[in-house]
Structure 1
Amino acid sequence: MKVFIVHAHPEPKSFSSALKTTAEEVFRAAGHEVLVSDLYAMGFNPVASANDFGTRADPEYCVYALEQRHGVSTGTISHDIQNELKKLLDCDLLVLNFPLFWFSTPAILKGWLDRVLVSGSVYGGMRFYDRGGLKGKRAIVSFTLGGQAHMLDTNGIHGPIEGMLKHLLQGTLAYTGLDVLAPFVAWHVPYVTNEKRLEYLDAWRKRLPSLMDEEPLRFPSLDRFDENLYPLAPRRERIEQ
């Protein structure tokens, strides 16, 4: 199996970085091929701009998604995007590892998503959800945060964490065709004991070997919509007399 870990934390000694290292070690020990993009260490440029394209389909007006397609087809898209896109397209499992910032990803990881999830290669037209360009691959999000679990459950003050992360789990990962697994969450990390942090690492270490067997979260299927994306009428079950 080919595993691609995208890690986004500015501190190499952080607990988030320990989660990344644990995943790397477990997968390598199991004989899997592992690639890691440590975005802060790489100095990854998160800003999507016309500078990402060596030649332009339209030099007068930049429609970023269309220029992505042109850049890939001509081989003139920025080399850092080409490198990350190749890692993504080659992998079987994508792991996004980060600290939660404002119920979202750090800006550097959002920029990675903006630039690397390339139109045409990853999505486009009717190629999304279960027809997306990354269909057949899996993804898991592992993250740390300061909040406590009871604050982000069904009756908690913020509601379920999956709702807070819908923009990432559904609107980004599932949209591109990935089978998205339930997130791994390390709660209240800045305030818990070292013993608790070791428990989190142990739980992560034990979960990693089963990721390819887990049931993914459910998201829309295009089979339930017509060509204009209106819902199909539900099938009537025959009533036996």
Structure 2
Amino acid sequence: MTSNESVLWVHAHPDRTSLNHALFRSGTDRLRCVGHDVSISDLYAQNWNPVLSGADFVGPVGDTLSAQQKHATATGGLAADIRREQDAVRAARYIVVQFPLWWYGMPAILKGWFDRVFTNGFAFGVHDEHGHVVKYGDGGLAGKTLLVVVTAGDRESALGPRGISGSIDHVLWPLLHGTGFYTGMRVLRPHLIASANFIDAQGFDVEEKRLHARLGKLDAEPAIDFRSLRSGDYDADHVLLPHIPAGEGGPDSHVRQRASSTSQPPWCSNAS
């Protein structure tokens, strides 16, 4: 990355002595050392409230929760903590989201951050000049880049294409495609730190260098080539057209270019 880029690092791990937390501190320190403007949302440290409710906004009485949220987003009626986080998202060119993989997903506190911060009219429900809702490749967060950094207890091979857990890209599909790409962001392949409970001091040095190397080239790294909604690959019901090869179906059907079986994604332990 070139210097003086704005980065928002959203972190969700309750244990300050964990490997995850150590890499979070190291990663943010590294970005600052090379001249980037880094904002941090450490959700456990902030005691972030993850529960979306009507208390988050002021809206017309009688409207649905979604309509109240959209009205509050447009009129400045959102709760102060939501407005603060949205300001940080707006200011950032790069958004790093880091968490431990719990039950094949993110901790509830982080899910609640997305529920409350990515509001209707801010991250989604945004219209183009013709009045059409923009999503899946365009949206309220277009122009930003998302990197997910995740620690997992299982071994790397178990989170690979033939692993028992499924590839990490598929495990994180709801976040990568359903949140990041849906809202218009460039989504990079996730950065996986596997066997996290077994990494010793020497292993930490390896993972720290690997994370720093990844952070240094975010601008040059190609995004996952998801098919956009306006690519001409989908019909009116948002189903792939018959001539689009779907293979065995599933998430890979919605990616134009897949890595070959001999190539290694950037989260592999021996990647640069």
Above 0.5 in TM-score? yes
Please name the residue that 1:8 is paired with. Answer: 12
Q: Which runs of 5+ in 1 are unaligned?
A: 236-241
CA contact 1:93–1:138 (8 Å) conserved in 2:
yes
2:137 match: secondary structure = helix
How far, CA to CA, are the matches of 2:85 and 2:22 in structure 1? 22
Corresponding residue number in structure 1 for 2:257: none
For residue 49 of structure 2, the aligned residue among 45, 52, 56 is 45
CA contact (8 A) 2:99 2:106 kept: yes
Deviation at 1:202, TM superposition (A): 1.2
Cα distance in 2, alignment partners of residues 227 and 160 from structure 1: 30
Quick one: distance in 2 between partners of 1:49 and 1:35? 26
Query: Is 1:115 aligned with 2:152?
Result: no
Where 1:34 maps in the other structure, the secondary structure is strand
Moved more, 219-228 or 206-215: 219-228
Judge conservation of contact 1:50–1:62 (CA < 8 Å) in 2: no
Q: TM-score, normalised by structure 1?
A: 0.90
- Tell me the secondary structure at the aligned position of residue 8 of structure 2: strand
Aligned to 2:62: 60
Query: Matched residue of 1:121: which SS?
Result: coil
> Is 2:143 aligned against 1:141?
no
What is the CA–CA distance in structure 2 between the aligned matches of 1:23 and 1:196, rounded to whole Å?
16
Measured against aligned partners, the alpha-carbon deviations of 1:24-83 in whole angstroms (never above 9, x if no partner) come to 111111111110010000011000001101x222x235323x222111222111110000
Determine if contact 1:143/1:186 at 8 Å carries over to the other structure: yes
Task: Give, in whole Å, the separation in 2 of the partners of 1:229 and 1:161.
Answer: 25
CA distance in 2, matches of 1:172, 1:181: 13
CA distance in 1: counterparts of 2:242 and 2:14, whole angstroms: 49
Larger RCO (alpha carbons 8 Å, 6+ apart): 1
- What is the aligned counterpart of 1:189 among 183, 196, 199? 196
Provide the identity percentage.
35
Per the alignment, do residues 190 and 233 of structure 1 end up closer, same or farther by CA in structure 2, a change over 3 Å counting? closer
The equivalent of 2:37 in structure 1 is 33
SS in 2 for 1:167: helix
For 1:126, the aligned partner's letter is V
Tell me the SS of whatever aligns to 1:206. Answer: helix
Count of residue pairs the alignment pairs up: 232
Task: Give the alignment partner of residue 21 of structure 1, picking from 12, 25, 36.
Answer: 25
* Amino acid across the alignment from 2:59: R
Distance between the aligned counterparts of 2:40 and 2:242, measured in 1?
45
Bigger proportion of residues as helix: 1
Measured after TM superposition, the shift of residue 122 of structure 1 is 1.1
The Cα RMSD (Å) is 1.8
**Of 72-81 and 90-99, the range deviating more from structure 2:** 72-81
C-alpha distance in 2 between matches for 1:227 and 1:121:
25
1:200 is paired with a residue of what secondary structure? helix
- Which residue number corresponds to residue 210 of structure 1? 217
Q: Cα distance, 1:191 vs. partner?
A: 1.9
Partners of 1:228 and 1:207 in 2: how far apart? 38
1:72-87 map, 5 Å: 72-87=73-88
Q: Which amino acid aligns with 1:104?
A: G
- Alpha-carbon distance in structure 2 between the residues aligned to 1:131 and 1:180: 12
Aligned to 2:175: 168
Contact 2:136/2:182 (8 A) holds in 1: yes
Q: Give the CA deviation at 1:231.
A: 5.1
The Cα offsets for residues 154-210 of structure 1, whole Å up to 9 and x where unpaired, read as: 111122111111011111111111101011111111123221122111110122110
Question: How much has 1:233 moved relative to structure 2?
Answer: 7.6
Change (3 A) 1:196 1:48: same
Quick check: 1:226–1:232 contact (8 Å CA) kept in 2?
yes
Amino acid of the structure 2 residue aligned with 1:35? S
